[in-house]
Structure formats: C-alpha cells, structure tokens
Structure 1
C-alpha cells in the first residue's frame, strides 16, 4: 500500500476519531467480554441515556477485568476484540462517546490499532518522513527512525495492550505522539507533492494533485486525535477519566 492511500479520507474528524464503519465482521457478533445483560439490552433497543450509561459501565468493567487478570489469553482476547468478535455491539456502546470519556478514549485506541494494522506499510514510510531522526518521540512510541510494516503492527498491539496491562496514561501518551509524528509525515508529503505540482504548472503542465488536500485533511484529523489522547492522559492521572 502506498502513501496515496492516505488521501482516501480514512480518518474522520477528531470528534469521531478514526473511521468506525464496519472495521470488523459484518455479522451481528457479540463480544465475549461484554456482559450478556448489556448485549441483551442493546438487542432490544434502549434510549440514548441508557446507552451512555452502558458505555461507561462496560468500558470501566473491561479495563478493570484485564488489570486484575494474570491470564495472558484474556489480554489477547481483549486486544483482538474487534478483529474476532465483531464491531456491532462495541460501536453501539462506544463510538458516540465523547473524547474526554473512558469509552471514547478506548474506542479511539481500538480504531487506531485497526487503522495501523491496515495501513502499516504506508505508515512505516510516513514515520520516516515525520521522524527522520531518532528523537524523544521515537523513544516514547518505541519505534526507531526506519520502521518496517511489521514494526508498525507490533507497535499498534503494544500501545493497546499497554492500556490494559500497564500505565493507562502512558499508553495514551504513546498514542498521542504516534499520531503527531504520522500527521507531520503526511504534512511533509503533501507539501512535497504541492511543490512538485507548482513546478510542473510553471512548465505548462496541468498536474493538479487532488490528493494533497486529502492528505492535509487526514493530517489535521490525526493532530486532533493526538490532542484527544493527550487530554485523556491528563484526565486519567487526575482520576477524572470516566
């Protein structure tokens, strides 16, 4: 996959984080980690207030359950919740939650991981553009200056699993810095393409590149999501992320 794929608008505005449209199976799956009562309520239909309450309860319960588990298989099941259990119930519970809430932040972490896995080759190139030299960002995220696709996939898993098994705020800070670097990489790539277009137009060649605007939009959305993660980390440390 090339960097051109990032002109497809795969990242929505920061208020909606990453695209949530059917990231998993289309079948009406039921995540095994969610309480049966929660799934039953959703199946029967509930009002927005009840969904909001369920979203907060389910997010807190899921996080607490993994934190108190010593079984690595539990962590793996939660990590791959969207991959193998389906997105329907999870999306219904969390996707409309505000960014400054626990379910909203968890939704962004899950969709970030999915996005990273799907675009790992392109992201590895963008990381090199956004972070051409090893800096504090490289150390925080845990990626060197020349990652390959498999490094991006491992980092995606590491960030999400760290949210459940380590310091939640640190995981959010890693996600924040990662988004900032990729946003910078996209901005640099868009700037390079824009200059090439201007040079070719000066020679009388019509080379308008509509992908530049899309890349810049994706960069802005990633920057907004980075701010969501940073704010979430601050709220968590103050005991106010619920």
Structure 2
C-alpha cells in the first residue's frame, strides 16, 4: 500500500513553481502561468514579493473561476496539476501558511492528487475507518464502501466545489474525508503492531513495526491537514482567509 505523503512535516507541504498575478496586488482577474516566473524565483526573489504574489495569484484564480461560466476554464484549473505537474503551483503556494488562501488551495490540490494516485489504498482505508456510515460520510459525500472510482470522483468533486460552490463547505468536506482516512491508517497501524508482537523474535516483526510507524507518520500529517481545512472554513466564513 502506498500512502506516504512526501510533502514535508507539518501538514501536506511541498515545493516549487506557480502563477504570476496580473494587475494590482489583489487583482480581480486570474494570474496566468508564467514560464519566466520560475527563473525569477530560482534566482532568489525577495521572500516578501513571493508572499505577495502567492496571495494575489490564489485570490485571482479563485475569483475568476467563481465568476466564469466557461466550463473549459474550470476544467483547466481543476486539472492543472495533472497537466503541468505539482511543481507548477508549488513555488508560490507551498510555503504559504495553512491559515491563508494560497496555503489552503495548495493543500486542496495536493489532497486531490494524493487521492487519485492512491485511490485503491484509500478506498480500503475508508472502509476500515468508516465501517458504518456516520456524519463524516454525509459531509464528505462518500458511500459507506467506496470503490476506487468513487474515491477519484470525490477527489474531483471536493476541488470542484472549492472553485465553483461554497468554499467553506468544500473545506469541511475535505476535512471530514481526511479524518476518516486518518482513522483507517491508525487502525491498520494498530493491527500491524499487534501482529509484530505476536511474531515475537520472528524476522518479519521489525518490518511490520516499521510499516506501522510509517502509517502513523502519514496519519499524523493528514490529521494536521484535516484541522487546517476546518480552520480554513471558519476563517472563510469570517472573511478572514486571504
């Protein structure tokens, strides 16, 4: 099972590349992908400038999609990582604080990417963490026993909802979904630890304990991310997520 998150230590965090805004520091129209931006940042741009561009590009992108009826534009934004790679948005957004708009959008994009790449493992983790449908199932919009395709559809619908629906609701869905996966990871880690204890001095015991530790590490990262999503929803409703 491949469930590791390779994006840092606190929440889902990573590196490299992004958007450049157009117009004012808080433009009302979207930034465009600028190939020259990467070179500028690689050359040592002022951190304050990068921060400003991070917030401006996130606000502009979200505003443009919320106000468009162009289905093709929406699709291009939602599949940005698929087409360009995760590094395209990472340079500006990956270092943004989790209580900021670029920080939250970054986490949403990475969550979608992770869900789609690990849909088989995640569908099983969901069944382990949510064996009986609860409030989390209703909030996240996931069936009690989701298939791999259900996970992929959920990943898309959460990000779609962030751009075309109620942003706070999308964050709450992301948080609820992540919480269940965290529970599934912890249950599996516990089972592995118990198996290792039963094996005693058997040669496979250290391997099982190492796998259990990795699952718990992933669960820890995701748990922080779930809290970031819920806090972001609160800030958005207060008009304080910028």
Residue 86 of structure 1 and its aligned partner are, at CA, apart by 3.6
Distance 1:238 1:39 in 2: 35
Is the CA contact 1:179–1:223 (under 8 Å) kept in the aligned structure 2?
A: yes
Deviation readout 1:55-76 (Å, 9 max, x if unpaired)? 0000000000000001111111
Is the CA contact 1:116–1:153 (under 8 Å) kept in the aligned structure 2?
A: yes
Change (3 A) 1:91 1:9: closer
Is the CA contact 1:9–1:214 (under 8 Å) kept in the aligned structure 2?
A: no
Matched, 1:111 2:107: no
Out of 13, 20, 30, the residue aligned to residue 9 of structure 2 is 13
Distance 1:13 1:97 in 2: 14
Matched, 1:153 2:146: no
Is the CA contact 1:29–1:87 (under 8 Å) kept in the aligned structure 2?
A: no
| Structure 1 gaps, min length 5 | 23-27
Distance 1:228 1:137 in 2: 16
Distance 2:124 2:169 in 1: 25
Change (3 A) 1:187 1:82: same
3-state SS of paired residue (2:240): coil
Aligned residue number for residue 227 of structure 1: 227
Residue 11 of structure 1 and its aligned partner are, at CA, apart by 5.5
Q: How many residues align?
A: 228
Relative CO higher for 1 or 2, CA cutoff 8 Å, sep ≥ 6?
A: 1
Is the CA contact 1:11–1:222 (under 8 Å) kept in the aligned structure 2?
A: no
Aligned residue number for residue 194 of structure 1: 193
Is the CA contact 1:11–1:221 (under 8 Å) kept in the aligned structure 2?
A: no
Change (3 A) 1:41 1:213: closer
Is the CA contact 1:186–1:215 (under 8 Å) kept in the aligned structure 2?
A: yes
- For structure 1, which segment, 191-200 or 83-92, has the greater mean C-alpha deviation from structure 2 after superposition? 83-92
TM-score, normalised to structure 2's length? 0.87
Is the CA contact 2:18–2:91 (under 8 Å) kept in the aligned structure 1?
A: no
Out of 24, 31, 34, the residue aligned to residue 34 of structure 1 is 31
Aligned residue number for residue 25 of structure 1: none
Aligned residue number for residue 205 of structure 1: 202
Structure 1 outlier segments of 4+, above 2 Å: 8-15, 28-31, 33-36, 38-46, 85-89
Distance 2:231 2:18 in 1: 32
Change (3 A) 1:139 1:195: same
Aligned residue number for residue 24 of structure 2: none
Deviation readout 1:124-182 (Å, 9 max, x if unpaired)? 00000000001111111111111111000000000000000000000000000111100
Is the CA contact 2:15–2:91 (under 8 Å) kept in the aligned structure 1?
A: no
